[in-house]
Structure 1
Amino acid sequence: MSLEERIREVNKRIEQACLRSGRSAEDVNIVAVTKYVSTAMVDKVLASGLKHVGENRWQNAQEKWNALGNRGTWHFIGHLQTNKVKDVIGKFEYIHSLDRMSLAKEMEKCAAAHGLVVKTFLQVNVSGEESKYGMAPAEAAAFLEEIQKFTHIRVIGLMTMAPFEDRPEDTRIVFRDLRELRDDLNRRGVTKEPLTELSMGMSNDFEVAIEEGATWVRLGSILVGKEEGE
């Protein structure tokens, strides 16, 4: 399938998932995960009308951003090392992987130096897998309360990664738990502004994530593939 055909197929599946759950497809944003493809493919992705690009590592993203950073909106979706924050702030409008206080402090310092407010997601390890980053759900409220004093970080929602399952339906509880955590944090008024966003769902399970309230889905192989070029 061509890139355009894959985009049409993904959009159709998003619309169907929204119909099943009584949502509007306009409320679901696609982040095209381009970590496995070339700069030329990222150029095609942006030319196709997709607006959001996601990268996991600055080392892999640097060439692409240098060539195409003035096009589209860039998301940093991987684990962010504290010593790489200076490379990312000012280039990536969204950071999906805030998961510890040392990272928050460095993000605040670098964003202040740039005169920016960075939109970020709090990464929560809902499944409890040791191999995954993110804080435990029980730690989220206290962490969010602590970083309310930071003026250059704006937490807009929560992010999680579900375990890879042969049956996508088996991931539903993870996505539901993240949505319920967000709703509970909002009821408790933990943040100055309500948390509106949920970054959850990847190529294997994005339809279930949408049915459970995802507002951002991170799609790589199903959308742009893994091979260099097209």
Structure 2
Amino acid sequence: MSISSNLNEIKNNIENIKSELSIERDITLIAVSKTVDSNRVLEAYNSGQLEFGENKVQELIKKYEELNNSDIIFHMIGHLQTNKVKYLVNKVKLIQSLDRLSLLKELEKRGKNNNYVFNCLIELNLAKEESKTGLHEEDLPELIEKIEECNYVKVKGLMTVAPYFEDLEKVRVYFKKLKDIYENLASKKFKNITMEYLSMGMSHDYKVAIEEGSNMIRIGTSIFGERNYD
């Protein structure tokens, strides 16, 4: 199937889920374009897709420059090295992978140097998977405390990459947990922190994520097909 057909199918699925569950909130679809060349990104864009997620800064910048004539919006969704932060000034809507104090410090420094505010999501690794990055839940209060001291970093919500299980009910546990944390934070007043985006759900599990409260899903394989990592 074509990229256009895949996008239409996912958008229809989202509308059907919303209809089934009487959901009225908007759900933002991020097309994960890692390893996908600019022509295929443009194909998705020409089919109405505006927001794209990249895992590597170098690849994001390359596409940003190649596709700079359009209103394409990029998100940084992969692990972000501190030495790459400087390249993202003015280039991303959200850094979805704020997961440690050293990164927060670098974002604040680069933001100050450029008089630029970075909008971020805190990435949580609720299953404590060693193969994945993300903040552990018990480290969240310390990060929040430091975010409140910032002038150039704003947190707009939470993100997670759930463990992969064939049995989606096992995944649901982690989405429920993230939603609980999100609601808890939303009920409190913080400086520099608002809960606008709950970014959870990928090709395999986005239906469950939406059922559990996600308002931003990140879909790659179901739009662009299997990755070629050569």
- TM-score normalised per structure 1: 0.92
Does 1 or 2 have the higher relative contact order (CA < 8 Å, sep 6+)? Answer: 1
Q: What's 2:40 paired with?
A: 41
Which ranges in structure 1 are unaligned for 5 or more consecutive residues? none
Tell me, what secondary structure is at the counterpart of 1:122? strand
Distance 1:21 1:141 in 2: 33
Q: Match for 2:88: what amino acid?
A: V
Q: Match for 1:216: what amino acid?
A: M
Q: What's 1:118 paired with?
A: 118
Is the CA contact 1:98–1:104 (under 8 Å) kept in the aligned structure 2? yes
Task: State the Cα distance separating 1:190 from its structure 2 match.
Answer: 4.1
Q: Cα deviations across residues 134-184 of structure 1 (Å, max 9, x unaligned)?
A: 111122133112211111111000000001111223211111100101111
Distance 1:96 1:83 in 2: 17
Q: What's 1:20 paired with?
A: 20
Is the CA contact 1:32–1:219 (under 8 Å) kept in the aligned structure 2? yes
Q: Match for 2:51: what amino acid?
A: H
Q: What's 2:178 paired with?
A: 178
Task: State the Cα distance separating 1:125 from its structure 2 match.
Answer: 0.7
Distance change (3 Å), C-alpha of 1:60 and 1:106 = same
1:106-185 aligned at under 5 Å gives the runs 106-185=106-185
Distance 1:190 1:130 in 2: 30
Task: State the Cα distance separating 1:227 from its structure 2 match.
Answer: 5.7
**Identical-pair percentage:** 35
Distance change (3 Å), C-alpha of 1:192 and 1:90 = closer
Q: Match for 1:162: what amino acid?
A: A
Matched, 1:6 2:6: yes
Is the CA contact 2:117–2:154 (under 8 Å) kept in the aligned structure 1? yes
Distance 1:214 1:147 in 2: 23
Distance 1:91 1:102 in 2: 21
Backbone CA RMSD of aligned residues: 1.7
In terms of mean alpha carbon deviation, does 182-191 or 103-112 score higher?
A: 182-191
Aligned residues: 227
Task: State the Cα distance separating 1:201 from its structure 2 match.
Answer: 0.6
- TM-score normalised per structure 2: 0.92
